[in-house]
């Protein structure tokens, strides 16, 4: 019996050393898979594919030593409700984290903020249920919609971030929206240089997202 016990222990040690441990290490080392779920601001409207937000963000993260893969799930013209409708196939199994950038089209169309809130909350709730870390990218309302609309719309993001404990980047177009040099002729969509500024601004929050994703994967 004693000899058999030693043999079992030796075999178990060999499995751990030569079999299971490399598998665990490989899982820990594989790139963090992020989905950027958004509208034209994510999709890269009127820009070459190489200048789209997810592509430039991935490049910036890799330059800082982060092993990541970012899928571009941006659809031009999409609303928060549209993002919700395609959530399951836009965020497939195996996704480690999601950046949610939706709401700009809701605001531009004057959609009731309550409708936008319900859609965004359902997106965040369902991703949280799947144990997928989320970074919520906020949006601001244009002034001509009035103070009441702005308050109802802009508080959506901070409220949901607090309620579900997800990361928040308050304004996706911070430093870009008011600078004509960083916007295309429509005054709405960033140029390639504008996207560079978006990436520089949001990068620290995305690095936090990567950390959360790795922690969840290791738990």
Rounded to an integer, what distance in angstroms lies between the CA atom of residue 36 and that of residue 56?
A: 12
Q: How many helices, marked H, and strands, marked E, lie in the chain? A: 10, 5
- Contact assessment for residue 102 and residue 123, using Cβ atoms and an 8 Å cutoff: yes
Token representation of residue 40: 């034209």
Closest-CA residue to 90 (of 72, 63, 116, 109): 72
How far is Cα of residue 81 from the mean position of the Cα atoms in its chain? 17
Token representation of residue 139: 């949006």
N-term to C-term CA, the chain:
37
Question: Is the CATH code 3.20.20.140 the one for domain 31-218?
Answer: no
pLDDT (tens place) for every residue of the chain, 219 residues total: 444 444 444 444 444 455 544 444 445 579 999 999 999 999 999 999 999 999 999 999 999 999 999 999 999 999 999 999 999 999 999 999 999 999 999 999 999 999 999 999 999 999 999 999 999 999 999 999 999 999 999 999 999 999 999 999 999 999 999 899 999 999 999 999 999 999 999 999 999 999 999 999 886
Rounded to an integer, what distance in angstroms lies between the CA atom of residue 44 and that of residue 73?
A: 11
Predicted confidence at residue 28, as pLDDT, reads: 58
Predicted confidence at residue 217, as pLDDT, reads: 87
Q: Is the pTM of this model over 0.75?
A: yes
Q: What strands, in cross-sheet order, belong to the sheet with 97-101? A: 68-74, 32-38, 97-101, 134-137, 167-169
- Torsion, Cα of 194, 111, 71, 66 (10° steps): 60
10 Å CB burial of residue 138 (0-12, 13-18, 19+) is: buried
Predicted confidence at residue 29, as pLDDT, reads: 73
Q: Domain ranges for the chain, please list them.
A: 1-28, 31-218
Catalytic residues: 40, 186, 189
Predicted confidence at residue 211, as pLDDT, reads: 97
Predicted confidence at residue 9, as pLDDT, reads: 46
């Amino acid at each position: 019996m004693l000899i058999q016990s030693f043999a079992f222990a030796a075999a178990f040690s060999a499995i751990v050393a030569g079999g299971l441990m490399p598998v665990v290490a490989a899982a820990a080392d594989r790139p963090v898979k992020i989905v950027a779920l958004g509208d034209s601001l994510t999709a890269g409207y009127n820009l070459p594919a190489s200048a789209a937000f997810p592509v430039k963000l991935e490049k910036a993260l890799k330059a800082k030593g982060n092993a990541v893969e970012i899928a571009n799930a941006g659809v031009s013209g999409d609303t928060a409700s549209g993002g919700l409708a395609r959530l399951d196939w836009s965020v497939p199994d195996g996704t480690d984290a999601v950046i949610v950038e939706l709401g700009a089209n809701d605001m531009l169309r004057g959609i009731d903020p309550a409708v936008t809130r319900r859609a965004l909350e359902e997106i965040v709730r369902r991703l949280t249920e799947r144990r997928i870390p989320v970074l919520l990218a906020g949006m601001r309302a244009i002034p001509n919609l009035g103070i009441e609309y702005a308050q109802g719309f802009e508080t959506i993001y901070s409220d949901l971030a607090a309620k579900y404990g997800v990361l928040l980047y308050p304004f996706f177009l911070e430093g870009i929206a008011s600078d004509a040099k960083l916007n295309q002729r429509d005054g709405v969509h960033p140029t390639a240089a504008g996207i560079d500024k978006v990436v520089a601004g949001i990068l620290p929050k995305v690095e936090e997202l990567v950390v959360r994703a790795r922690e969840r994967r290791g738990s």
